[in-house]
Amino acid sequence: MCGIVGAVARQGAVLQDLVEGLRKLEYRGYDSCGVAVADGAEIAIRRKVGRLTELEALLADGALASARAGIGHTRWATHGKPSDENAHPHSDGSGRMALVHNGIIENYLELRRELQAEGRKFSSETDTEVLSHLVGRELARGLSLADAGRAALSRVHGYYAIAVMAVGKTFELVAARQGPPLVVAATADAAWCASDVLALLPHTRDVIYIEDGDVAELSPGKVVLSRVDGSPVSRPVRHIDWDEEAASKRGFPHFMLKEIFEQPDVLARTAFDRILQLEGDVAFEGDGWDDAGLKRLERLQVVACGTALHAGYITKYLVESLARLPVDVDFASEFRYRGPVLVANTAVLAISQSGETADTLAAMRLARELGCRPVSICNVKGSTVVRESEAVILTHAGPEIGVASTKAFVAQVIAGFMLAVRLGRARGVLAVDDGRRLLDELRCLRPRLEGLLTEKTLSAVRRIAEKHVKAKGFFFLGRGVNFPVALEGALKLKEISYVHAEGYAAGEMKHGPIALIEPGMPIVVINSPGKVAEKVRSNIEQVKARGGHVIAIGADRESLALADDAIEVPDTIEWLSPVLNVVPLQLFAYHHALLRGCDIDKPRNLAKSVTVE
């Protein structure tokens, strides 16, 4: 939701490190940003509504350039509109402390009233400023910053990842988390904290993902970990093998386009080392995917959000068809509050690119409390979802920076396909030969995916995007394993073009939504050869009969011939067709957004990882 960063150095300035760290974190939120640095006995704060460039202009006078310690924040507003006053860092007004926060303090109004009653003055509408005053009050009582932080956090209900600094007898920098992610690291002469490891990679690859309830005291060369109750704790140091370049644009105009073009490599990295061709099976790393563990399963409960949820729906079709295991799929945000009734021997499958989505985490924890075995498909090795799973299928999509998820979705679908094969083989419902055939098709997918990422597809997509650039709204229709692809195509268009688009089960249109179709309305229909292809062709006829303008996507040639516009996709087995069919939809959303002058990588109102409710 927001990005926080902190640094303290024995010598040498940290301001540029803070700014560069915020640049790496801007994808998490970008409606305002700011820094606070220790400037001798005082703390200097600079903050500004708008993007990082606005803050850099504020810092251009060089007044803070030599500071050796500081914190920074880039915001996705939850409480209080984007403004200079609501931008972080916040303080208690004493000039001796500052704090940045990612998360939500649910009881901030009650605490604000308590603090105002003591005469404390507030200058923002944020929940975060309450925390600043709570910490400031404890500092004024003579507590160390770590103890002041613990005392303050003990009053808070909600989610937080914070970095707080104080000047006095000595300089102190403390970080703490309960919910949103936080990574810390120390080198010989410095120490850092950040919401995402990307901000630390320029300094070190050896980092510590702190856990919920941890408090980290940072000083040059040292990180001391403890719990909120003060008891000491230790966490493993993890070596990150991502390279900086992998997180850069590599010459593409936008991260989203780069990540779409990375998909063939993502397929290879996520699948190929796991295929056991001779056995017609797959092997996942770590425990928990063996026959014995999987045979006992009677149900799979998927919880996820957004694009990851669409991959979850596809996984349902695959697992039920190939492994004959019942699968339920829920919006994580709905699962949490609907009082779910689960049967014994159910595994909860959390699907998440970031591994930090608050709703998905909470749903996974609830399912575990209800007796489910927590497993996951995730793209970030050290993330909370991964650390709270008994078994994980890591996707190897690499860092996904574009807010609109593309390569992570393809990786999640591939992981879901492999999970279906593993479950089918473990449960004895998928024969070796069938397994071999399915995995052969998976291997052959890469050249087909590459064959889609060509000028031929791009020019077809551009032509169609131009034709419909003024459309008021779109339908995306699909059936079976391509119904979730319709949902995903609609979400991609919505979130980066800000155009209304609705994904719908093609067979459902006649039960009401077809009334919306006006002459010329663009209707994207996804269809591939398979058991529902004929039904989808009928749906195309129904839409055309009402004047809809049909854009067919897929390998079903009759559908392509029926349509007003068409983008042909290479053929593959029905179960893998979503991996190919989604690509023209991703490119269509990209080009539509480009034509509409939208910010592709940082769409309005969104953030890459929604770490609050």
Contact residues for ligand AGP, defined by CB under 6 A: 305-308, 352-354, 357, 360, 403-405, 495, 609-610
Q: Closer to ligand AGP at the Cβ: 400 or 556?
A: 400
SS3 271: helix
User: Which among 18, 82, 75 has a CA at the least distance from the CA of 44?
Assistant: 18
SS3 374: strand
Nearest approach in angstroms of CB 353 to ligand AGP is: 3
Nearest approach in angstroms of CB 607 to ligand AGP is: 8
Q: Closer to ligand AGP at the Cβ: 165 or 583?
A: 583
Around 106, how many Cα atoms within 13 Å sit in the side-chain half-sphere?
6
Q: Closer to ligand AGP at the Cβ: 223 or 361?
A: 361
Query: Residue 457: enclosing H or E segment and its boundaries?
Result: helix 455-467
Q: Torsion angle of alpha carbons 606, 609, 612, 613, nearest 10°?
A: 70
| Residue with the CB atom nearest ligand AGP in the bound state | 306
Angle at 358 between CA 352 and CA 363, to 5 degrees: 80
Q: Closer to ligand AGP at the Cβ: 14 or 404?
A: 404
Nearest approach in angstroms of CB 600 to ligand AGP is: 12
Contact 8, 220 (CB under 8 A): yes
Contact 551, 568 (CB under 8 A): no
Nearest approach in angstroms of CB 594 to ligand AGP is: 17
Q: Closer to ligand AGP at the Cβ: 91 or 412?
A: 412
Nearest approach in angstroms of CB 567 to ligand AGP is: 21
State the catalytic residue, choosing from 316, 494, 602, 608.
608
DSSP annotation of 312: H
Please, what's the largest Cα pairwise distance for the chain? 79
Nearest approach in angstroms of CB 32 to ligand AGP is: 21
**Does residue 81 carry a catalytic annotation?**
no
User: Which among 450, 445, 393, 476 has a CA at the least distance from the CA of 575?
Assistant: 445
**What's the one-letter identity of residue 170?**
T
User: Which among 606, 600, 607 has a CA at the least distance from the CA of 496?
Assistant: 600
Q: Closer to ligand AGP at the Cβ: 225 or 606?
A: 606
Q: Closer to ligand AGP at the Cβ: 532 or 585?
A: 585
SS3 272: helix
User: Whole-angstrom Cα distance, residue 364 to residue 328?
Assistant: 14
**Does residue 608 carry a catalytic annotation?**
yes
Nearest approach in angstroms of CB 402 to ligand AGP is: 8
Q: Closer to ligand AGP at the Cβ: 407 or 425?
A: 407
Q: Return phi, psi of residue 439, to 5°.
A: -75, -30
* Helix residue spans in 60-174 (DSSP H): 108-117, 128-140, 145-153
SS3 104: strand
Per-residue tokens: 97: 């402390």
Nearest approach in angstroms of CB 29 to ligand AGP is: 13
Nearest approach in angstroms of CB 447 to ligand AGP is: 26
Contact 395, 415 (CB under 8 A): yes
DSSP assignments along 492-557, one per residue: HHHHHH--EEEEEEGGGGGGTGGGG--TT-EEEEEE-SSTTHHHHHHHHHHHHHTT-EEEEEES-H
State the catalytic residue, choosing from 2, 33, 193, 305.
2
Contact 190, 6 (CB under 8 A): no
User: Whole-angstrom Cα distance, residue 319 to residue 374?
Assistant: 17
Q: Closer to ligand AGP at the Cβ: 270 or 357?
A: 357
Catalytic positions, please? Answer: 2, 608
